[in-house]
Structure 1
Amino acid sequence: MYIVQIASECAPVIKAGGLGDVVYGLSRELDIRGNCVELILPKYDCMRYDHIWGLHEAYLNLSVPWFGGAIHCTVYCGWVHGRVCFFIEPHSEDNFFNRGCYYGCDDDDMRFAFFSKAALEFLHQSNKRPDIIHCHDWQTGLIPVMLYEIYKYHGMAHQRVCYTIHNFKHQGIGGVKTLWATGLNRESYYFQYDKLRDNFNPFALNYMKGGIVYSNAVTTVSPHHAFEAQHTEVGCGLGHTLHLQRDKFKGVLNGIDYDFWNPEIDRYIPYNYTADDFEQKIYNKKALRERLMLRASDKPIIAYIGRLDHQKGVHLVHHAIYHSLNKEAQFVLLGSATEPRINDHFRHEKAFLNSNPDVHLELGFNEELSHLIYAGADMIVVPSNYEPCGLTQMIGLKYGTVPIVRGVGGLVNTVFDRDYDPDLPAEKRNGYVFYQTDNHALESAMNRAIDLWYQSPEEFQKLATQGMKYDYSWNYPGTEYLSIYDWIRYKW
């Protein structure tokens, strides 16, 4: 099968969050299975060029219609850790991708409307005709719209689109200007409720809604998040649209790359280990304490790794620090804040706790250190307010670091409570789950984990090694997506 992935990110060359990891991981899995996979990405000035091999000009004269004229683009080709990637560089005074950032500009709606138009023009003009076009998030939501309203009449009638939503919070809001820029034009047509009109603002166009309405299949990144998006506020206003399109909507759990996140071969940790020689993990715990200058003591280490923001349940992260200390545990945090107020708060906490030998707050992100924390910690807390999929808990499981998670999104699909899960036998359970957003709920789950560590160390180790045996690689998601691709190829 010939598959083209179109996205605004692909790790490690372009990564602002989990989207980049998913685009790379899924592409790699599909490639390994014998499919022809290519990626189309913006050519940002600030991307990691050191991760691209053999970058060269592949298509010199891509002319992209835009408003009443056209913007000339150059398309570059290079290999990102074995993946064939095409990078679109527009030559325009707008400098769409020469901003020193990926997102956060006032004209993001127009930047990515142009990218979507340019990606389709590249496929059209270069005579590339993939079986499947797989688009990701709001930045590419207009691609299925333009494909089925414009390009199918110009030799692209047989291409099918799978559209994956990674985060419903950011939907891409545009206006009339988007229609005239891209050549869609017909205002009265696209501002209908069953087309692109935002569900709550009759004067706005919603790119993500367009992707849902026009694509052949819609996915999100875990089965439980798919349910939440349809039936709770997690859908951020798109619940009714998803309900109308429910026959083509499902959740497919993300995977993680076990070539990178694997304690058996991890080059960032001093001692490699498996479930069969789990006792080696304690040497990584010792190395973690030495690196972070924590007290050497017979205490469990509880960790948090991730962003510090509302989505991640930052109020519970803060409470977890002090509750760990009260329960005679040590705490390690690695994360960066997305808001100045939250950043200032945790900088204050870091200064206040600086002399405490049982806690270390590392504000920022350090890839190498994250591996050591996963390998050295005994437990990891993931108290998210909402979590479409979550990679942290899956990585923790692979490293034998018992997850303590809130029961939302993909966390429900990957972590099964040791004491209370009614659907699995005891030997299949792998962590602790709580459901409310208050301190008492978090404390209850943490207490059960910490008490087991102190009172029944053999049972705790058994729980940790049970988690290591779960397979959250891209193997299963790869199979799921290939089934979806086959379905839309032959159904439509």
Structure 2
Amino acid sequence: MYIVQIASECAPVIKAGGLGDVVYGLSRDLESRGHTVELILPKYDCMRYDHIWGLHDAYKDLWVPWYGGAIHCSVYCGWVYGRLCFFIEPHSPDNFFNRHCYYGCDDDNMRFAFFSKAALEFLHKSNKRPDVIHCHDWQTGLVPVMLFENYKYDMGLQRVCYTIHNFKHQGMGGSEVLWATGLNQEAYFFQYDRLRDNFNPFALNFMKGGIVYSNYVTTVSPHHAWEACYTPIGYGLGHTLHTHQSKFRGVLNGIDYEVWNPERDRYIPHSYTKEKLEGKAKNKQALRERLLLRDVDKPLICFIGRLDDQKGVHLVHHAIYYALEKGAQFVLLGSATEAGINNHFWHEKEVLNDNPDVHLELGFNEELSHLIYAGSDMIVVPSNYEPCGLTQMIGFRYGTVPIVRGVGGLVNTVFDRDYDENHLPEQRNGYVFYDTDFHALESTIDRAIGLWYNSPEEFRQLAIQGMNYDYSWNYPGKDYLEIYESIRHK
């Protein structure tokens, strides 16, 4: 099968969050099964060019219709750790992708509307006719819309799978989006059953367009699919998902088991396996040495991720002080998305600077994250909402017991040691709480720390039970191939 992924990210060359990891990991898994996969991405000025091999001109004169004229683009081709990627560079005064950032501009909706148009124009003009186009999140929500409305007579029956990674950001625009992309017909597209936003009659919703026009829609875990339909987590798209429920499901993300592998991780000093966990204790010691923590007989709890409301930042802050109070050490690695949160954690870093049992690393460091996973006993993931969550899966891989809030993909992956009635004791792998208050977090941390101190062998067994799970791309890769096959033959 010939599959083209159209996305705004692909790790490690373009990575702002989990989307980049998913695009890369899924592509590699599909290729390992014998399928041909190509990726189409924006050519940002700030992407990691050192992760691209053999970057060269692939299509020099791509003219992309835009408003009443056309924008000249160059398309470059290169390999990102074996994945064949095409990067689209528009030559325009708008400087769509020369902003020193991936997202966060006032005209993001027009930037990615153009990228979606350019990706389709490139497929059309270069005579690429994939069996399936797989596009991701609001940034490519207009791809299935334009494919059906503008390109179906030129390109034939291209089938589209559309994956939503985060319902909170949906992409909004007005009639200017229609005129720019050549969709044009305002009365037609502003109908409720097409692109009109469910709550703002004067706005077009890119993500809604992706849902309505694609052949299949997925989100990144089964529980999050339910949340999107029946709770406020759908951010207003619940009715649209219900209307199209026959083509909507949750497919749990995977993680790259080559990148995250304690047996041969080049970023950790001591390799280990679930049969021989001694190396994990040595990594814990190495982590303490690197971060200047004292070497004492205490559990080490970590948090790795963005510092924002989605990740339950108030609970992250409370977890630091509560863990210290209960005789644990704490390591945080994360960057804030808002100035207020950033300032708050820099203040906390100064306050805790002389405490030998805590280290706050504000920013992101991929190399250090590997050592933190390998050296920690537990990882806390207290998210307000979490479509899938990758940190708990990586934690399992490294024998680091997760303490999570029971939302989204966390429900599908973490099974409480003491209270999960759907899994046998030998299948349980972590700790889960459900409320968003401090008491719920505290009681769960108490249980985890208590087991570490009082029953070290049982804690070790719990870590091994987590390592027994397979959260690689093996199963989701099969799921996506089944979806591709089903829409190919409709």
TM-score (norm 1): 0.99
Deviations 1:199-255 (A, max 9, x none): 111000000000000000000000000000000010011011001010000000110
| Deviation of the 1:64 alpha carbon | 0.8
- d(CA) in 1 for partners of 2:365, 2:57: 33
Distance 1:376 1:395 in 2: 13
Partner of 2:379: 380
| Residue 185, structure 1, aligned to residue 184, structure 2 | yes
Partner of 2:93, secondary structure, is coil
Distance 2:205 2:380 in 1: 35
How far apart are the structure 2 equivalents of 1:247 and 1:190? 23
Distance (Å, rounded) in 1 between the aligned partners of 2:165 and 2:226? 14
Which amino acid in the other structure matches residue 362 of structure 2? Answer: L
Aligned to 2:132: 132
The residue that corresponds to 1:347 in the other structure is 346
Query: Aligned partners of 1:146 and 1:120: how far apart in 2?
Result: 8
Structure 2: distance between partners of 1:363 and 1:442: 23
What residue identity is the alignment partner of 1:11? A
Q: Does residue 429 of the first structure (1) align with residue 428 of the second (2)?
A: yes
SS at match of 1:98: coil
Q: Distance in 2 between matches of 1:36 and 1:330?
A: 47
Per-residue CA distance 1:140-189 (angstroms, 9 max, x = gap): 000000111110022x2211000000011110001100001111000000
Which residue of structure 1 aligns with residue 312 of structure 2?
Answer: 313
Aligned with 2:436: secondary structure?
Answer: coil
Aligned counterpart, 1:54 = 54
CA distance in 2, matches of 1:379, 1:229: 29
Which residue matches 2:336? 337
TM-score, reference length from structure 2: 0.99
Instruction: Please show how residues 154-173 of structure 1 align to structure 2 within 5 Å.
Output: 154=154, 156-173=155-172
Map of 1:150 onto structure 2: 150
Match status 1:207 vs 2:210: no
Letter in 1 for 2:325: N
Counterpart of 2:12 in structure 1 is 12
Structure 2 partner of 1:476: 475
- Aligned-partner Cα distance in 2 for 1:468–1:369: 21
Q: Which residue of 2 aligns with 1:402?
A: 401
Letter aligned with residue 19 of structure 1: L
Q: How far apart, in 1, do the equivalents of 2:266 and 2:211 lie? A: 41
SS at structure 2 position matched to 1:356: coil
Measured in 1, the distance between the counterparts of 2:243 and 2:251 equals 19
- Distance in 2, matches of 1:230 and 1:350, equals 40
Q: For 1:475, give the aligned amino acid.
A: N
Instruction: Write out the 4+ residue segments of structure 1 that deviate beyond 4 Å after TM superposition.
Output: none
Q: Match of 2:286, as an amino acid? A: A
Shift of 1:481: 0.2
CA distance in 1, matches of 2:330, 2:370: 16
CA distance in 2, matches of 1:126, 1:307: 39
Distance 2:279 2:84 in 1: 38
Q: Which residue of 1 aligns with 2:63?
A: 63
Q: Which amino acid aligns with 1:404?
A: I
Deviation of 1:280 after TM superposition, in Å, equals 2.1
Which letter maps to 2:342? Answer: N
For structure 1, which runs of at least 5 residues remain unmatched after alignment? none
Q: Deviations over 1:14-69 (max 9, x none)?
A: 11111111000000100111001000011111111111111111111111111111
Q: Which residue of 2 aligns with 1:240?
A: 239
Match of 1:323 in 2: 322
Q: Distance in 2 between matches of 1:11 and 1:33?
A: 20
* Structure 2 match to 1:75: 75
| CA distance in structure 1 between the partners assigned to 2:297 and 2:110 by the alignment | 56
1:100 is displaced (CA, Å) by 1.0
Deviation readout 1:337-382 (Å, 9 max, x if unpaired)? 1111111111111111111111111111111111111111100000
Unaligned runs of 5+ in 2: none
Comparing 216-225 with 292-301, greater Cα deviation is found at 292-301
* Residues in 2 aligned to 1:93 and 1:338: alpha-carbon distance in whole angstroms: 28
User: Which residue of the partner structure matches residue 94 of structure 2?
Assistant: 94
Q: Residue 275 of structure 2 corresponds to which residue in structure 1?
A: 276
1:69-104 CA distances to partner (integer Å, 9 max, x unpaired)? Answer: 111111111111100001111111111111111111
The 2-side partners of 1:350 and 1:62 are apart by 50
Give % identity.
79
Corresponding position: 1:84 with 2:81: no
Q: Aligned equivalents of 1:339 and 1:74: distance in 2? A: 35
CA distance in 2, matches of 1:140, 1:361: 36
1:303 counterpart = 2:295? no
Asked whether 1:174 is paired with 2:173, we answer yes
* 1:436 partner SS: coil
CA distance in 2, matches of 1:118, 1:364: 33
Q: Does 1:111 align with 2:147?
A: no
Q: Secondary structure at the match of 2:489?
A: helix
Deviation at 1:279, TM superposition (A): 2.2
- In structure 2, what is the Cα distance between the partners aligned to 1:342 and 1:409? 24
Could you say what secondary structure the match of 1:164 adopts?
strand
Q: What is the alpha-carbon root mean square deviation over aligned residues?
A: 0.7
Tell me, in whole angstroms, the C-alpha distance in 2 between the residues paired with 1:73 and 1:125. 12
Deviation string, structure 1 residues 438-473 (Cα, Å, up to 9, x no partner): 000001111110000000000000000110111000
Tell me the equivalent position of 1:265. Answer: 264
Aligned length: 490
Query: Are positions 1:391 and 2:351 aligned together?
Result: no
* Structure 2 Cα separation of the partners of residues 325 and 331 of structure 1: 7
Matched residue type, 1:388: P
CA distance in 2, matches of 1:91, 1:162: 30
Q: Whole-Å Cα distance in 1 between the matches of residues 300 and 139 of structure 2? A: 39
Where 1:127 maps in the other structure, the secondary structure is coil
* CA distance in structure 2 between the partners assigned to 1:183 and 1:337 by the alignment: 38
Amino acid at match of 2:244: Q
Within 5 Å, which residues of 2 pair with 1:288-299? 288-299=287-298
Provide the C-alpha distance between the structure 1 equivalents of 2:485 and 2:135, rounded to a whole number of angstroms.
16
Distance 2:197 2:402 in 1: 38
2: CA distance between counterparts of 1:109 and 1:365? Answer: 27
2:432 alignment partner, SS class: strand
Q: For the residues of structure 2 that align with 1:234 and 1:274, how far apart are their CA atoms?
A: 38
